[in-house]
Amino acid sequence: MFGLGKQRSRLGKYLDTKEIPQQWLVEETKLNKKTISQLASKDEPLPSGSTMQKIIQALRKIDKNLKQEDFWPM
């Protein structure tokens, strides 16, 4: 079961709802596992623009309508 008992950010909740493993996002974005884990558990601090872009591009393979604002305030 995804997200059981963990503190989750909006990104983390999305991954849990869609049953997307964090490891998949690590592999798709080529970002560090620790980076993805932190972004899935905490809303702060905001990731860099390039990190946001990599995550959104990877997740758009699943949902073409995603925007950065869905996870991080602009």
Does residue 73 fall inside a structural domain? no
Residue-by-residue pLDDT tens, the chain, 74 positions:
455 667 899 999 999 999 999 999 999 999 999 999 999 998 888 999 999 999 999 999 999 999 999 999 87
Domain that holds residue 35: 10-65
Does residue 21 fall inside a structural domain? yes
Q: What pLDDT is recorded for position 74? A: 76
Does residue 48 fall inside a structural domain? yes
The domain tally of the chain equals 1
In angstroms, rounded to a whole number, what is the distance separating the alpha carbons of residues 42 and 27?
Answer: 20
